[in-house]
Structure 1
Amino acid sequence: MSIYSTDIETAELGANGISKKAGWITVYQAHPVTREYQSASMEYLMFDVGLPAHSYPDKPELPPVGQALCRAADGKSWEHVEDNRGQTVYSTETRQEQIVSQFGELPDNLTLLKPQTEFDVRNGKKWVTDTQAQQAAESRAAQQEAQQALTSRLTVANTRIQPLQDAVDLDMATETERAQLVAWKKYRVLLNRLDISKAADINWPEPPDAEKAGINARG
């Protein structure tokens, strides 16, 4: 009988997790905080020695895509848990998006479903558009746009009226200038009578000499 051996000594663990025979053993490590599986390695155990911290002798079954592999909280087995890391999720309260950085089930205030508008609100398990809020916002935007257009037109009218008014005040105006002054003042009056709150129904008055004034009379 040979005094040599080419076999690798394999450690044997007792029921208490302590080696009852010295040798090599494959262990599977988990992260000390998240318990996520990290790697496998060969460890040599002396007699009456336990496994390294956060290491386990049972080989885990690899999870399918979309799930993470981690040690159960009681440390007795491996488990597969939901894994959305790297995906974009949305707050069900604010619609704000963020990237998932931890595995595990999403909390109730986050969803993978993307809201379609800034007026979407969460209704159970889906987004629904708050049409009243959307219409109100569109109305405010239309009013702001109409107000800007009105201000621009009034600026043009005031710019045209001022020199014509000067000519009339100094008794230097020609008949054409007097007629232009009246026309521009009438135009300004019509502008000031417009109801901006009804932005969608505004019928902009035609300015005198619209092409030269640089005004788009259609709004």
Structure 2
Amino acid sequence: MSNYSTDIETAELGENGLSKKAGWITVYHVNQYTGEYQSASMEYLMLGVGLPAHSYPDKPELPPAGQALRRTVDGKSWEFLPDYRGQTVYSTETRQEQTVTQFGELPDNVTLLKPQTEFDVWNGKKWVTDTQAQQAAESRAAQQEAQQALTSRLTVANTRIQPLQDAVDLDMATETERAQLVAWKKYRVLLNRLDISKAAAINWPEPPDAEKAGINARG
């Protein structure tokens, strides 16, 4: 019998998890906090020595794409869990988006489905647009735009009226200036009679000398 051997001594573990035979063993390491599989290595165990912390002797089956591999909570086996890390999810309550950073099932209050409008609400299965809220918001926006347009027109009218009124008050106005003053005042009256709440149906009055006034008569 030869005094030499080319075989690698393989460690054997007892039921207590300690080596009952010294030698080499392949161990599989996991993250100490999440239990996710990290790597494998060869370790030499002396007689009566256990495995390194957070390591296991049984080889795991690799998971398919889209799933993560981790040790079960009781440490007795391996398991697959959904892995959405890096993907964007949306809160079903606020529509706010966030990037998934942990593996596992998604919380009940998020979805991978992207809302299409700021008025979408989650019905438990999909996003549904709240058309009433959308129409109300569009109406408010139209009213704000109409109010801004009205303010702009009134500013132009007031700017035109003031010097004409000064000329009339000082008895320095020409007939043309008197006529212009009346026209601009009528225009201002018509502007102040407009119902801004009906923004979609506003019929803007034509300003006197619209081209020189710098006003788009169509609104």
TM bracket (short chain): over 0.9
SS of residue in 1 equivalent to 2:153: helix
1:16 match: 16
Secondary structure of residue in 1 paired with 2:117:
coil
Give 1:14 deviation, angstroms.
1.9
- In the other structure, the counterpart of 2:132 is 132
Give, in whole Å, the separation in 1 of the partners of 2:7 and 2:215: 96
Q: Which residue of 1 aligns with 2:57?
A: 57
Task: Name the SS for the 2:68 alignment partner.
Answer: strand
Aligned ranges 1:1-219 → 2 under 5 Å = 1-219=1-219
Q: Give the partner amino acid of 1:10.
A: T
- 1:95-123 Cα deviation digits (max 9, x unpaired): 11111111110100111111000011110
- 1:17-50 Cα offsets, whole Å, 9 max, x none, are 2211110000000111100001000000111221
Greater shift in the superposed pair: 37-46 or 7-16: 7-16
Shift in Å, 1:125: 1.3
Q: Give how far 1:6 is off.
A: 1.4
Please, what TM-score do these two structures have when normalized by structure 1? 0.98
Q: How many residues get paired?
A: 219
Residues 112-143 of structure 1: CA deviation (Å, up to 9, x unaligned): 11100001111011110111111111110000
Distance in structure 2 (CA, Å) of the matches to 1:31 and 1:145: 57
- Shift of residue 69, structure 1, vs aligned partner: 0.6
Deviation string for 1:37-85 (max 9, x for gaps)?
0100000011122111110111111111111110011101111101111
The one-letter code sitting in structure 2 at the alignment partner of 1:177 is E
Task: Return 5+ residue gaps in structure 2 as ranges.
Answer: none
Identify the range of structure 1 (44-53 vs 94-103) with the bigger mean alpha-carbon deviation: 44-53
Q: Distance in 1 between matches of 2:48 and 2:3?
A: 25
SS of residue paired to 2:42: strand
TM-score by length of 2: 0.98
Return the letter of the residue paired with 1:48. G
* Structure 2: distance between partners of 1:49 and 1:134: 69
* Distance in 1 of aligned mates of 2:105 and 2:23: 40
